[in-house]
C-alpha cells in the first residue's frame, strides 16, 4: 500500500504543478484574450480527455491480463515525456500534442484503483481509498503552490520540474513497486470488446448497483471537471488573481482534502455508512458550487473551500461500494469503464464550462450581468444544478438496491 500511495502522490504532484500555469501559457499564445483563452483551454482539455476515454479501458484490460505493474510503469514514463514536450511547446499545436500523450498515459489511474482493490480487504477498503484521496490532496497542496511559485520565474519551468518528478517516480516504481495481481487471478484472454470503451461501459450492466452509481457519477464528475477547467480563468477574471494566488488557493484545496480524506473518511463511514455518506457529501458539494458561483468577494472563496471539502467523503465511499461488488478478475475492466466515463465528462466539461459558459458570459456578446459585472460565476451555478441531479439519482439508486451483492 505504501508503494502505490507514494507513486500516486508523486504522479499527482507532477500534474498539480502545471494546473496554475497551463491556462496562463495559453493566454500568452492568444494575446491575453480571456474569452479566446477560455475556448482554447476548453478544446485542449477535451483533447486530453478524448484520448483518455479510448485508452483507459485498453490499459484496464491489459492490466487484468498482464498485471498492474507494467501498465503503471509505462504510463509514468510516458507522462515524463509529455511534460518535456509541453515545456518546449512553441505553439498551441504542440500543446495539443502534449495533451494527447498525457491523455493516453492518464488512463493508468484506473489501473492504480484496481491495484488498491487487489490489496484491500472488506475491512480496510474504504480506508485505503480514503488514503488515495489523501495522496491526491497532498499532491494538490504542494503541486499548485509549487507550480505557482515556479511559474513566477517562468511559465515553462513547472513543466520541466513535473517531467523530472514523473521520471523519478518511474525509476522508483521500476525498482520498488511490486505486482499486486497474482497470476492465477488474471484474466486468461484479451478481446477487442474488452478494450472498447463503449463495450466496457456496457459491461457495468452485470453489476446493477455499479451501473446506477455510474449514472450519478457522470453528473457529479461533469461538475467537478468543469470546476477544475474553469477555476483559474474565472478567479483571474473576477478577482484578478495571479498564478501565485491561484496556486496557493488550490493548495488550500489540497490541505482540506488531506484533512477530510485522511482523517474523516473512516470515522464518518463507520458512523453513517457508505450510502448515507455519499448522499451527505453530494449535497454539500451542490451547495458549495452554488456559493462559488455567487461569491462577490475574494475572501469568500477560501471559506467555501473549507466547507466544500467535506464533499470529498463521497469518492472513497463510492469506490468502496463499487469494489465490494466486483470480482477481482474484473476490477481492471470496471475501473477502466469508470475512468472512461470520467473521460467522457472531461471531454464535455472543458467545452461546456470553459469554451461555452465562461467564454460566453465574459465575451462582448453577453448582456447578462451579476453584481454589475459579467457573470463569470455562471459555470459554477451550472455545476450546482448537475450535482443536484446526481443527488436525486443516488437517492433513487440506493433506495432500489438496499444491499450490494457480488455478481456471479
Closest CA to 315 of 216, 206, 207: 216
pLDDT band at 406 (very low <50, low <70, confident <90, very high): very low
| CA 351/CA 370 separation, integer angstroms | 22
Phi, psi at residue 183, to the nearest 5°? Answer: -55, -40
- Residue 66 DSSP label: H
**pLDDT score recorded for residue 200:** 62
Q: Are the C-beta atoms of residues 384 and 290 closer than 8 Å to each other?
A: yes
Largest Cα span, the chain: 65
List pLDDT tens digits, range 37-74: 777 877 887 787 788 777 777 777 788 878 888 888 88
List pLDDT tens digits, range 192-207: 666 666 666 666 777 7
- Residue 373 DSSP label: E
pLDDT band at 248 (very low <50, low <70, confident <90, very high): confident
| CA 156/CA 86 separation, integer angstroms | 8
The whole-angstrom distance between residue 243's C-alpha and the CA centroid of its chain comes to: 21
Better-scored residue on pLDDT, 349 or 254? 349
**pLDDT score recorded for residue 386:** 95
List pLDDT tens digits, range 125-173: 777 877 777 777 677 777 777 888 888 888 888 889 888 888 888 888 8
- Record the pTM: 0.66
Residues in the chain: 408
| The three grid cell numbers given for residue 240, joined into one nine-digit string | 484578478
Q: How far is CA 205 from CA 26, 220, 400, in A?
A: 41, 20, 15
Q: Is the pLDDT of residue 303 over 90?
A: yes
Residue 373 pairs with which residues in a beta bridge? 370
Q: Is the pLDDT of residue 85 over 80?
A: yes
Angle, helices 208-239/265-294, rounded to nearest 10 degrees: 40
Residue 94 pairs with which residues in a beta bridge? none
What's the CATH class of domain 2-176+193-400? mainly alpha
**pLDDT score recorded for residue 379:** 92
Amino acid at each position: 500500500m505504501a508503494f502505490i500511495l507514494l507513486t500516486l502522490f508523486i504522479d499527482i504532484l507532477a500534474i498539480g504543478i502545471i494546473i496554475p500555469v497551463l491556462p496562463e501559457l495559453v493566454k500568452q499564445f492568444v494575446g491575453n484574450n480571456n474569452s479566446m483563452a477560455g475556448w482554447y483551454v476548453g478544446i485542449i482539455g477535451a483533447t486530453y480527455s478524448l484520448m483518455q476515454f479510448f485508452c483507459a479501458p485498453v490499459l484496464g484490460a491489459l492490466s487484468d491480463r498482464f498485471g498492474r505493474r507494467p501498465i503503471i510503469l509505462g504510463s509514468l514514463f510516458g507522462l515524463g515525456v509529455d511534460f518535456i514536450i509541453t515545456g518546449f511547446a512553441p505553439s498551441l499545436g504542440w500543446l495539443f500534442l502534449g495533451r494527447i500523450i498525457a491523455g493516453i498515459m492518464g488512463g493508468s489511474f484506473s489501473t492504480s484503483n484496481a491495484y488498491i482493490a487487489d490489496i484491500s480487504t472488506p475491512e480496510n477498503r474504504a480506508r485505503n481509498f480514503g488514503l488515495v484521496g489523501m495522496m491526491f490532496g497532498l499532491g494538490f497542496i504542494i503541486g499548485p503552490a509549487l507550480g505557482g511559485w515556479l511559474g513566477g520565474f517562468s511559465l515553462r519551468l513547472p513543466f520541466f520540474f513535473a517531467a523530472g518528478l514523473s521520471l523519478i517516480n518511474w525509476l522508483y516504481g521500476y525498482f520498488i513497486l511490486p505486482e499486486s495481481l497474482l497470476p492465477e487471478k488474471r484474466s486468461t484472454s484479451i478481446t477487442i470488446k474488452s478494450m472498447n470503451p463503449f463495450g466496457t461501459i456496457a459491461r457495468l450492466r452485470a453489476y446493477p448497483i455499479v451501473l446506477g452509481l455510474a449514472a450519478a457519477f457522470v453528473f457529479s464528475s461533469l461538475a467537478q471537471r468543469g470546476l477544475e477547467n474553469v477555476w483559474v480563468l474565472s478567479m483571474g477574471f473576477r478577482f484578478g488573481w495571479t498564478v501565485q494566488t491561484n496556486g496557493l488557493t488550490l493548495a488550500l484545496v489540497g490541505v482540506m482534502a488531506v484533512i477530510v480524506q485522511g482523517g474523516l473518511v473512516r470515522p464518518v463511514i463507520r458512523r453513517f455508512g457508505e450510502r448515507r455518506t455519499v448522499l451527505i457529501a453530494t449535497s454539500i458539494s451542490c451547495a458549495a458550487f452554488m456559493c462559488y458561483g455567487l461569491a462577490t468577494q475574494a475572501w469568500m472563496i477560501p471559506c467555501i473551500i473549507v466547507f466544500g471539502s467535506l464533499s470529498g467523503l463521497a469518492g472513497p465511499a463510492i469506490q468502496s461500494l463499487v469494489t465490494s461488488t466486483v470480482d477481482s478478475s474484473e476490477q481492471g475492466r470496471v475501473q477502466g469503464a469508470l475512468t472512461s466515463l470520467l473521460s467522457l465528462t472531461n471531454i464535455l466539461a472543458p467545452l461546456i464550462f470553459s469554451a461555452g459558459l465562461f467564454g460566453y458570459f465574459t465575451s462582448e456578446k453577453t448582456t447578462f450581468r451579476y453584481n454589475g459585472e459579467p457573470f463569470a460565476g455562471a459555470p459554477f451555478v451550472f455545476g450546482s444544478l448537475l450535482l443536484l441531479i446526481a443527488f436525486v439519482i443516488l437517492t433513487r439508486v440506493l433506495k432500489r438496491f438496499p444491499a450490494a451483492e457480488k455478481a456471479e
